[in-house]
Amino acid sequence: MRLGLIAIGSVLLSMPALAQEASKADAPKSATAGALPKPNTAADPIVVTTLKAPDRATVRNLVQAITPVVPFEEPLPRFDAPVCFASTGLDRPTMERIGDRLAENAMLAGLQLAGSGCKPNVAILFVNDVDRAVKMLLARRWWLFGDRLPAEVRTITHEAGPVRAWSNSELRSAQGMPRGEAVLAKNLPVNEGVVMSSPTASRIEARVQRDMLVSIVLVERAAVIGKTTTQVADYLSMRTLAVIRPNHASGRDSILTLFDADMTEPPEALTVFDRGYLKGLYAGNANQYAALKIGKITRTILAGAPPRVPAVTAREHPE
């Protein structure tokens, strides 16, 4: 699937082509830098140390940390409709590579793609000055921020780093029906304007789901120079397909650290944690309570972790 192009008025400026990216696997390696030490030819005994499997509590804590706090009786926001990606601000070949990767990640997470000619519900803008761009959007396209309170908008506009991201969502019935739709025709019970088709209560699932309607991300162009299209697309997958608090992932093994100032060697792609998060979020029904969904995400991450093999190290033979 190719990433489409959209225009956002005078907010976007012209952009030179993204610098050529070189694969680490194909790059020539120095004879000394990063070279493995020469093996000891002496008959050394082998010391075997066992690596621990991922700790469930640690994984769950990180899931809770990056997941926004929602009322207990509400589900986590996620897309219910097929996703349609659109972007602008980079050269077309680069955007197409990013778009292909975004589509691949969406399908692996369990989402459907809207197909060609679709109406975008995921917009990615590469801009020269992210602070200036988001302020211009707020002034000229204020409706893109939905019905957020001023304090919530300030949280978005004051995010640190070269990225600004947000999504607009709304509560719908457990069957995905918009507020008030077909109430008169079907005479369904209504609670706070949301159509309810089932009067029964459940300790597992809510009577509503929170559907993401649109995700918007602004990225400073200078920040993507030196990053691969896979890294950029995988980061954008986390920021567009889920509502994430990336600052809580600092120092962890996650693509969310891609633009952290102190991250010298960020992940080259989605990590086991990242893929498990997206798969767990989109597994099962959309109206599952947030606390139970966090547990599902945690189990999905742990299930996707590769088996740990013993680490073998050499120790000098005692004289």
Q: 145-176, pLDDT tens digit by residue?
A: 988 888 989 988 888 899 999 999 988 776 66
268 lies in some domain: yes
72 or 137: which carries more pLDDT confidence? 137
Position 115 scores a pLDDT of 85
Inter-CA distances, 318 with 47, 66, 201, 311, Å: 13, 49, 69, 21
234 lies in some domain: yes
265 lies in some domain: yes
Range of the domain at 235: 43-169+213-314
Position 264 scores a pLDDT of 85
In angstroms, the CA 309 to CA 298 distance is: 22
What is the mean predicted confidence (pLDDT) over 171-198? 52
207 lies in some domain: no
306 lies in some domain: yes
255 lies in some domain: yes
- Lookup: tokens for 292: 């139970």
31 lies in some domain: no
What is the mean predicted confidence (pLDDT) over 245-249? 90
Q: Beta-carbon neighbour count of residue 247 at 10 Å?
A: 14
212 in Cβ contact with 243 (< 8 Å): yes
* Residue 313 Cα to chain centre, angstroms: 37
Q: 220-232, pLDDT tens digit by residue?
A: 999 999 999 999 9
User: Which sign, positive or negative, has the C-alpha torsion 40, 41, 45, 48?
Assistant: positive
Position 227 scores a pLDDT of 96
Position 276 scores a pLDDT of 96
Check pLDDT > 60 for residue 54.
yes
In angstroms, the CA 138 to CA 158 distance is: 13
Position 30 scores a pLDDT of 38
Q: Beta-carbon neighbour count of residue 13 at 10 Å?
A: 13
**Helix%, strand%, coil% for the chain, nearest 5:** 35, 15, 50
Position 94 scores a pLDDT of 95
In angstroms, the CA 53 to CA 217 distance is: 35
Question: How many distinct structural domains can be found in the chain?
Answer: 1
Residue 179 pLDDT grade (very low, low, confident, very high; cuts 50, 70, 90):
low
Position 307 scores a pLDDT of 63
279 lies in some domain: yes
In angstroms, the CA 139 to CA 98 distance is: 29
